[in-house]
Each structure stands twice: as structure tokens, then as C-alpha cells.
């Protein structure tokens, strides 16, 4: 596969705790842009602020028209879908909810796949609905890699299970093993 340029992560119920663990264990030298869509995000920068204390990389809220920066975690703001333009700048929309969610993981994954093609890793973590499954399938169809948290070890199994059912995965593993895997895939 191509050397990844970005990692997109989707999660829902139980996502905050999972993100804390994962982001903390990332290598601070990681040269990829990390884009996070968590359904439980609320207003103005709250999630980004909370996660910043638990992350090896700087965490900011994704802002309209700003570039996705290497080595930075960008969090989708609550109430808006997060998309990427081909020039790797962010765009927001208030289109209808997808899977009862805005931001939606499918929306982010689809547009990230359109932008990064094969140079993308998609990660689906804990969650109680099936958002992200179709987006992950798009990432794989573009030649990107799919990583799914092992459903049995997830706080809520439905979302990673749906991802496995609909998209399949290149790696399916417990949460603790995901950050080391990403470090290995991204630094070599």
C-alpha cells in the first residue's frame, strides 16, 4: 500500500474513553493528519479541549477552509458534517443527519477517501449504531486500509460489528493494539 497521508477515526458511544487511550499511545513524531469524528462531540471545541490533555499530538477542532495539517489531530465540531476538499482543506455542512448523526462518520470517510485515495487509513471504534460502515467500505474500495476495533472488546459492539459486516477489515484487534499498529504503519 501507499504510505498513508492521513488517518480517519470514527467512534460513538464509549468513544471519548477509547480516543483518550488511542491518542495517548500515538507516536508524537507521526507525520499524518489525524481526523476524528465522534458523535458525542458537543458545542464549540469542547471535545477537542478535553482530548488535548490525553493526546501525544496537538488536538484542535477542524475549522472550515483550514488545511488538514500533518501531525495534528483535527476533531469534527458538533452539529456539522466534516468534509475534505481535494486541496485538503476542511469544509463543513449542515446537511441532513446520517444514521441519526451530525457529524457523520460515513460523510467524513467518503470525502477523505475521495481526497487521499489509497493513502488513507480508516479506523472504526466503539459505538452503538452503524455509521462508518459504508464509509469504511469506500476507503477500502479506494485502496486504503481498514482497522476495526474487535467488537467483543468494545464498550459498544454494534458499530465495529457493522463495519466488519459491511466493509470487512484489514486489521481487527483490541483497542490497546491499535495505536502501536498505526505507529508501525505510519512511521515506516
Partner 1 sequence: MPAPLPDAELEQIELDLFLQALKRRHGHDFSEYAPASLTRRVRQLVHTHHCGSISALTARLLHEPDFVPLVIQGLSVPVSEMFRDPPVFRALRQHVLPVLASYPQITIWQAGCAHGQEVYSLAILLEEAGLYERSHIFATDFNADALQRAQEGIYPARDAQLWSRNYLLAGGGQSLASYYSARYDFIKLNQRLRRHITFANHNLVTDKVFCEAHLVLCRNVLIYFSNPLQNRTLALFRDSLVRGGHLCLGMRESLDFAPTAGDFTAVDAALRLYRRNSQPALEEHDGTA
Residues near partner 1 (CB under 8 A): 44, 63-65, 77, 79-81, 83-86, 91-96, 107, 110-111, 114, 117, 137-138, 140-142, 167
Phi-psi region of 15 (alpha: psi -120 to 50; beta: other; left: phi over 0): alpha
Q: Least distance in Å: CB of 174 to partner 1?
A: 25
Long-range contacts of 86-92 (CB under 8 A, 24+ apart): 86/114, 86/115, 88/33, 88/115, 89/65, 90/62, 90/63, 90/64, 90/65, 90/66, 91/64, 91/65, 92/62, 92/64
Residue 27 or 114: the one with the smaller Cβ distance to partner 1 is: 114
Catalytic (active site) residue 39:
yes
Residue from 101, 106, 111, 131 carrying the catalytic annotation: 131
Residue 23 or 68: the one with the smaller Cβ distance to partner 1 is: 68
Catalytic (active site) residue 12:
yes
Residue from 39, 74, 81, 142 carrying the catalytic annotation: 39
Amino acid at each position: 500500500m501507499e504510505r498513508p497521508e492521513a488517518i480517519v477515526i470514527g467512534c460513538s458511544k464509549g468513544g471519548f474513553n477509547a480516543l483518550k487511550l488511542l491518542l495517548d499511545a500515538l507516536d508524537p513524531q507521526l507525520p499524518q493528519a489525524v481526523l476524528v469524528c465522534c458523535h458525542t462531540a458537543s458545542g464549540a471545541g469542547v471535545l477537542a479541549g478535553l482530548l488535548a490533555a490525553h493526546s501525544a499530538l496537538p488536538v484542535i477542532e477542524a475549522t472550515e477552509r483550514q488545511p488538514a495539517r500533518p501531525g495534528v489531530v483535527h476533531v469534527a465540531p458538533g452539529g456539522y458534517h466534516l468534509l475534505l476538499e481535494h486541496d485538503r482543506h476542511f469544509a463543513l455542512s449542515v446537511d441532513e443527519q446520517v444514521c441519526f448523526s451530525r457529524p457523520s462518520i460515513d460523510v467524513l470517510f467518503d470525502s477523505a477517501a475521495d481526497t487521499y485515495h489509497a493513502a488513507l487509513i480508516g479506523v472504526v471504534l466503539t459505538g452503538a449504531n452503524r455509521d462508518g460502515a459504508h464509509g469504511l467500505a469506500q476507503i477500502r474500495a479506494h485502496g486504503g486500509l481498514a482497522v476495526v476495533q474487535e467488537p467483543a472488546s468494545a464498550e459498544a459492539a454494534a458499530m465495529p460489528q457493522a463495519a466488519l459486516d459491511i466493509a470487512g477489515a484489514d486489521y481487527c484487534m483490541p483497542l490497546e493494539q491499535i495505536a502501536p499498529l498505526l505507529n508501525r504503519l505510519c512511521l515506516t
